[in-house]
Each structure stands twice: as C-alpha cells, then as structure tokens.
Amino acid sequence: MKKLIPQHIHSLKPYKSARSIGLNGRIYLNANESPWTNAVKYIHNNLNRYPEFQSFKLLKKYSQYSNISSNQILITRGADEGIELLVRTFCLPGNDCIMFFTPTYDMYSVVSDIFNIKKIIVPLLPNFQLDIKNIRKKIGNVKLIYLCNPNNPTGNLFLQTDIIKILSIIPSTTLLIIDEAYIDYSIQYSFISELNRFKNLVILRTLSKAFGLSGIRCGFILSTVYIIDILKKVLAPYPIPTPVSDIAIKSLQLKNIKIVQKNISQILKNKFFLIEKIKSFSCIKNIFSSQTNFILIKFFQSKKVFQYLILHGVIVRDQSHKLGLENCLRISIGTINECKDLINILSMFEGKKI
C-alpha cells in the first residue's frame, strides 16, 4: 500500500489546529474566535437541491460590504481553501515555489508541503516587520507570496510602505496574496482599495473572526476579474453549502454589521483592559503590540504558565516552538468576564512559588 502514496506525503505531519489538539477547558482563548455567537439562524428547508456554484445574493452582499465589484470576488470554504486554491491553480508541484515570512500562519507552509511546492522562508526582523532587503534578494522565480496582515501569531501590522514596495518590485508573473483575516480589528485600511492599481494583488477575507462565524467556513478571494475567472476553473462545482450562503447573506445585512462593529469595539476595549491589568506581572517579559483580537505574550517560563492555565480550565495557544517566539503564548481576547478570570489565574500564578 505504501507504494500508492507519493514520497512527499509520507513525510507529512497532520496540521494541528487549535481545536484538534483536544485540550478540554472552560475558557477557550486559543483559536482567535469571537466569544459571541452570531445571532443569524438558518430556517429554510431546501436542502434537497444542490447549491449555486457561487451564490449571487452572497456575492452582491459582500460586494456592497467590501466596496468592490462582485465579479472580482470568489466565495470559498474559509480563507484556508483560498490559500490552497491559489497554490493548486498557479503552481506546478516540484517546480514552482512560494514565499512567506515567519513567524506567521502555519497553513502557508502546510499547503506548500501537501502539494510538493518549494518554499522560500524569509524571517521577519526582530521588530516583526518585513525584511525588504532580504525579500528583494530572494524573490527570484517565486510564483506566490503570502503575507498575513495583521500577522498571526505576532498580531502586528506591516508598514503599508513596505507592502507597496513588494508590489512594486515583484514581476507580473508573481502574485502577492494578502491574508486579511484580522483586518476588521485593525486601524489600517484594507488593501482592497489597491486591487485596481496592482493587477497581481490578491486578498483573502473571512467571516470566521469578527463576524463570529468560524463554524460555517466561509471566506472570500478578491482580485482582478481575470484571476477570479481562472480560479473558477479549479474550484469544486458545489463549493458552498446552501446553509452557509444563507447564514453569510444574513450576517452581511446592515443590522447585523452594526452588531459586529459593536462586538469589535468591545473586543478592543477588553484587550486594553487585559493588557493594563497584567502588563506589570513579574512572570511576563513582554506584551507585543496587537492590531487583532489576540495578544502575543512573552513569558519568562511559558511552559509553566501554559500548564497552570490548563489546570485552571483556560486554553491558550503555545507558540514557543516557532523561530523567534521562544516562551511565547498567544491569547485570544474573550468576554470581559473571561478576561477577568484570566487575570485572576495569572495573579494566582504570580503568588505561586516556582
């Protein structure tokens, strides 16, 4: 049976998402989800019919929300499918290569390994900004460049001027893909406004974070009409289930967008509250600046903090295995009560003799 499996698949290790790790707790601050359930419900009874290839109503709604033409949008099963679809469409296995900047979202690396695509990894600078000089040297024959902005897991925004520099130096045969999963929490404008200026720019968006719809897996690819039409040739024939489209359409109604905006505001307030309460704790070495719904914290003894939090039912995401993130934990911002619980538990850890 082993002969059936391509050699590069043998060496793969399954990606461990926050949910798949299987830690049990009472407060989950490990997956950057919204702590509030979206109020939208699915009530129709039309599941005997196949869904549309691309829901016309959903395209129209997201077009209005993002201020871009609907023929420049492709609906996908979460942004993760968008990451994969771009590789499947534009890269030849064993021949082409992609570039990304670490530490960053693991799926760029995972997808390249699955499809046997070479990868050029450029480390971020110590301040987590882009190393433009190094990027310029290594850009070569790169097909796709993945850039998470704001970045996961560091939480920071990249300088707009640096992103424009990348767009200015890459050839027409290279696509820059900006993953804007967390842009709704950010002070920076979306690069959607640059799509008509740069023809090799692609943007990934999702309803999983700010919209509180991680469970329906709904994302979007935004680009030129030409690129969207090419991607349609590779996309599965019935990609988006009818309930997903229906819930997504309702979530993009004005009354629900106002609720989302209110929730975003509350998350940012909770983040500020949490940081102010814990920034002086002696177990913490640094709290990195964040433009997202999570914070990255460097502890002096992250493993002991991680285990102590688990012991008290709080699940966070350990990032200490990543280059440059030794002793770092990523903590999603929850409700104000969840933040207070976290503060109390860290305070107890402070008083505990290690």
**Span 242-265, pLDDT tens digits:** 999 999 999 999 999 999 999 999
Looking at residue 10, its pLDDT comes to 67
86 and 232 fall within a common domain: yes
Both 285 and 317 in one domain: the answer is yes
Please report, rounded to a whole number, the percentage of residues in the chain having pLDDT higher than 70. Answer: 95
**Of 22, 306, 305, 32, the residue nearest 153 (C-alpha):** 32
pLDDT of residue 130: 99
Quote the tokens at residue 50.
């196949």
Whether 114 and 202 map to the same domain: the answer is yes
223 and 99 together in one domain: yes
Same domain (yes/no): 225, 262: no
Contacts of 46 (CB under 8 A, 6+ apart): 242
> pLDDT digit string (tens) for 32-58?
999 998 778 777 778 888 999 999 999
Are 193 and 218 in contact by the 8 Å Cβ rule? The answer is no
User: Considering its fold, how many domains does the chain have in total?
Assistant: 2
- CATH code of the domain containing 213: 3.40.640.10
Residue 49 lies in a domain: no
For residue 192, pLDDT over 50 is answered with yes
**Which range (14-23, 25-34, 134-143, 170-179) has the least confidence?**
14-23
Domain boundary among 233, 253, 273: 253
**pTM for the full model?**
0.94
Picking from 186, 221, 253, the residue at the C-terminal end of a domain is 253
Q: What is the pLDDT of residue 17?
A: 63
Question: How confident is the model at residue 159, as a pLDDT?
Answer: 97
User: What pLDDT sits at residue 14?
Assistant: 72
Asked whether the predicted pLDDT for residue 352 surpasses 70, the reply is no
Least confident of 37-46, 111-120, 139-148, 169-178: 37-46
Same domain, residue pair 26 and 75: no
Q: How does pLDDT run across 197-223, given as a tens digit for each residue?
A: 999 999 999 999 999 999 999 999 999
The strand ranges marked E within the chain are 27-28, 73-76, 97-102, 118-123, 144-148, 175-179, 201-206, 219-222, 284-287, 294-299, 314-315, 317-318, 328-332
The 3-state DSSP class for residue 297 equals strand
Phi and psi of 333, rounded to 5°?
-85, 120
- Count Cβ neighbours within 10 Å for each residue of 230-262 and write b for 16 or more, e otherwise: ebeeebeeebbbbbbbbbbbbbbeeebbebbee
Q: What is the mean pLDDT of the segment spanning 329-334?
A: 99
Cβ count within 10 A of residue 224: 17
170 and 209 together in one domain: yes
pLDDT at 271: 99
**Is the distance from CB of 77 to CB of 217 less than 8 angstroms?**
yes
| Whether residue 224 is found in the same domain as residue 301 | no
Is there a single domain that holds both residue 95 and residue 207?
yes
- Distance, in Å, from the CA atom of 50 to the CA atom of 237, rounded to the nearest integer, reads 10
